[in-house]
Amino acid sequence: MLSFVLRRLGTMALTMLCLTMIVFFLINLEPNLKKLAISQTEMHTSAEQLEDWLVNHGYRQNFFVRYGQWLGLLPKQPVTDPATGKPTQRFTFCNDPAVPTFSGVLEGDFGCSTKFKTTVASKLFPALGATGILMFCVLAVMVPVSLLIGILAGMREGSRTDRVLSVASIASTATPEYVSGVIFTVIFASWLGWLNGSAASASQGITFYNFTLPVMTLAIYGIGYIARMTRASMVEVMTQQYIRTARLKGISFGGVVVKHALRNALIAPFTVIMLQFPWLLTGVVIVEVMFRYQGFGYTLVEAAGNNDIDLLLGCSLVSVFIVLITQLISDVGYAFLNPRIRVQ
Partner 1 sequence: MQVQYISAFSVLLEVLSRFWPVWIALIIVMGASFAYKKRLALYGQLFDSGVGIVGVGICLFWLFTAIFASTISPFDPLAQVPVMKDMLPGAIEPQSGLVYLFGGDKLARDVFSRMVYGSQIVLIIAPAATGFALMVGITLGLPAGYYGGKIDTVLSFLANLVLAFPVILLFYLLVTPGIMDTPIPYAMAGVFFLFPIIFFSVLFWTRYKNRPDRLYILLGITLLVGGWIYLGLVFDKDPLHIVHIDPNQLNIFVAVVFASSPGVFRIVRGLVMDIKTRDYVAAAQTRGESPWYIMLWEILPNARGPLIVDACLRIGYTTILLGTLGYFGLGLAPESPDWGTAIKDASRLLRSFIHPALPPTIALMSFVLGLNLLADSLREQSMKD
Indicate the Cα dihedral angle 45, 47, 53, 59, nearest 10°.
140
Looking at the Cβ atoms of 105 and 246, the one nearer to partner 1 is: 105
Consecutive H or E run containing 80: strand 79-80
Q: Does 190 bind partner 1 (CB under 8 A)?
A: yes
If one counts every other C-beta atom within 10 angstroms of the C-beta of residue 65, the result is: 13
Minimum gap (Å) between residue 144 Cβ and partner 1: 24
Near partner 1 in 282-321, by CB under 8 A:
282, 285-286, 289-290, 297, 300-301, 304, 312, 315-316, 319-320
Minimum gap (Å) between residue 172 Cβ and partner 1: 10
Residue 287 CA to residue 198 CA, distance in Å, equals 10
Q: Does 154 bind partner 1 (CB under 8 A)?
A: no
Q: Does 141 bind partner 1 (CB under 8 A)?
A: no
Q: Contact region for partner 1 (CB under 8 A) — 31-39, 51-59, 91-99, 236-244?
A: 31-39
Using CB under 8 A, pick the residue from 166, 233, 276, 330 that binds partner 1.
166
CA distances 319 to 178, 227, 298, Å, are 20, 25, 13
How big is the site for partner 1, counted in residues (CB under 8 A)? 49
Looking at the Cβ atoms of 23 and 337, the one nearer to partner 1 is: 23
CA distances 175 to 15, 178, 219, 327, Å, are 32, 8, 11, 25
Residue 16 CA to residue 267 CA, distance in Å, equals 28
Residue 306 CA to residue 35 CA, distance in Å, equals 8
Chain centroid to Cα 124, Å, comes to 13
Q: Does 186 bind partner 1 (CB under 8 A)?
A: yes
Residue 309 CA to residue 249 CA, distance in Å, equals 66
Near partner 1 in 226-285, by CB under 8 A:
278, 281-282, 285
Give me the helix-helix angle, 277-290 and 296-305, nearest 10°: 70
Q: Does 28 bind partner 1 (CB under 8 A)?
A: no
Using CB under 8 A, pick the residue from 38, 121, 179, 206 that binds partner 1.
179
Consecutive H or E run containing 112: strand 112-113
Near partner 1 in 191-220, by CB under 8 A:
197
Residue 79, helix vs strand vs coil: strand
Using CB under 8 A, pick the residue from 50, 73, 128, 189 that binds partner 1.
189
> Which residues are near partner 1 by CB under 8 A?
11, 15, 18-19, 23, 26-27, 29-32, 34-35, 166-167, 170-171, 173-176, 178-179, 181-183, 185-186, 189-190, 197, 278, 281-282, 285-286, 289-290, 297, 300-301, 304, 312, 315-316, 319-320, 323-324
